[in-house]
Amino acid sequence: MVENARPETSRMFRWLVLIFVSLTMFGNYYVYDCIAPIADLLSKQLGFSDSNIGLLQAIYSIPNVFMVLLGGYIVDRIGTRKAIFIFGTLCFIGSIVTVLAGKLAVMATGRLIFGLGAESLIVAVTTAVAKWFRGKELSFAFGINLMIARLGTWLAQNSPTWAHSAYSTWRSPLLISVAFASFCVIGAAIYWAMEVYAERKHAVGQAGSTDKVVFRDIYKFGLSYWYVVALCIVFYSAIFPFETFAIKFFIEAHGTSRELGGFLVSILTAFTMFGTPVFGLFVDRLGKRALLMMMGSVLLIPVYLMMAYTHVSLYVPMAMMGVAFSLIPAVMWPSVAYLVEQSKLGTAYGLMTMIQNIGLAGFNLLVGWANDHGHAGPDNPAGYHLGMWIFSILGFLGVLFAFLLRQRETGPQGHGLETITTAKSAA
């Protein structure tokens, strides 16, 4: 009763919380994407194969096949602020280890430590956003969160331009990534202080840490949740492993400069930075979440084959990918909050991210192998074709899972994904 008597935090305070907690993901995303711009330098200066480069990204994901579900459990048990600080610190440490030596084992160890913190950090931040905005502007808040996070990606992808002098060697760009990794700790500390203040003075959203997580409850998650998880794994497996090799692919198969290659990939990110909040606001008002996820998945099917087999301007497929990458996450992640109890939300996001990482690890390794198998390189651009077919097939599977989700949600066992809007919530 005393808690209920406290006033809610102001809308301005909520949005400030969102900005500072998103800073942790800003640094996180920069460090994740710092490998792709130096892929050819790793090949030339350190003798890494595409399989080695794929491993540097895959090893980020491999421990999260197990760690992220545990991370979600930790979020639900100790609370968001402690979890965000712990995982943000791991990200910072991992970025430091990665740059210590130009040996695959050392760099892979750093990426592994970074991965242990990074994906669990995303789960913790996602849970925090849901805590502060559930029943309010949830999809829009997720969109703003992703926009800030992807600014880190955009800066990393364009770092060959704004930090051109650093790209004479593989190490200098990674040193820059350490500076960005510090935001993982800075943002976490500020969020901790703001949440403590809010809990003393105001009524805040329900925290998952107050309820015990029972792992067998995972089996009680409905079929709609599992369709969203299936879409998540194929969608992100079609995007992030492509980005791992995209700049190298553009340089070697299309003859672009490193700067132009980085800019082309960043077009995708720029679309998401601004498109995701817009789509989130749109979805909050319209509903039709499964239908929109299906439409976004359709866009992914042709883009990779266009880049592999045609001479159409690369701006066209990258823009199409940008629309899909803006739309689907704006709908997919907030949808989980409507499908799972609040007290199990950290575990639900952790499980979803865990399975997503199975795809990211597997497809980074698979596409790296496919490029090496096809002897992909500047003298054999066709060697990239097998990887492009793999990505295109993932787009088709995304359409299938989104269709099955819509079929489920328009039936008697639906959770309102197609009908819930902010107008109805307010009513």
Distance of CA 411 to the CA centre of its chain: 30
Highest mean pLDDT among 37-46, 122-131, 173-182: 173-182
**pLDDT for res 318:** 92
Write out the two tokens for 56.
């540097």
Tell me the sheet residues that pair with 203. Answer: 8
Q: Tell the burial category of 361 from Cβ atoms under 10 Å away from its Cβ (0-12, 13-18, 19+).
A: buried
**pLDDT for res 212:** 38
Residue 272 — very low, low, confident or very high, per pLDDT cuts 50/70/90?
A: confident
Say what the pTM is. Answer: 0.75
Highest mean pLDDT among 25-34, 35-44, 190-199, 288-297: 25-34
Residue of higher predicted confidence among 3 and 195 = 195
Lowest mean pLDDT among 14-18, 207-211, 258-262: 207-211
Residue 74 — very low, low, confident or very high, per pLDDT cuts 50/70/90?
A: confident
Distances 355 to 58, 226, 237 between C-alpha atoms, Å: 13, 10, 11
**pLDDT for res 114:** 93
CA separation for the pair 306, 313 (Å, rounded): 9
Which residue, 229, 189, 171, 169, is CA-closest to 355? 229
- pLDDT of residue 245 exceeding 60: yes
Q: What angle do CA 137, 408, 69 make, to 5 degrees?
A: 65
- pLDDT of residue 202 exceeding 70: no
Note whether 385 and 214 are within 8 A (CB). no
pLDDT tens digit string along 315-339? 999 999 988 888 888 888 778 877 8
| Cβ-based neighbours of 234, under 8 Å, separated by 6 or more | 359, 394, 395, 397, 398, 401
The whole-number average pLDDT for the span 379-404 is 90
CA separation for the pair 188, 90 (Å, rounded): 12
Q: Tell the burial category of 338 from Cβ atoms under 10 Å away from its Cβ (0-12, 13-18, 19+).
A: middle
Note whether 422 and 280 are within 8 A (CB). no
Note whether 405 and 231 are within 8 A (CB). yes
- pLDDT of residue 94 exceeding 90: yes
The whole-number average pLDDT for the span 283-295 is 76
CA separation for the pair 68, 346 (Å, rounded): 10
Percentage of the chain lying above the pLDDT 90 cut: 26
**pLDDT for res 281:** 79
Architecture of the domain spanning 11-426:
Up-down Bundle (1.20)
The whole-number average pLDDT for the span 184-189 is 93
**pLDDT for res 129:** 84
The whole-number average pLDDT for the span 357-365 is 87
Query: Which runs of consecutive H residues, i.e. helices, occur in 255-314?
Result: 258-286, 289-309
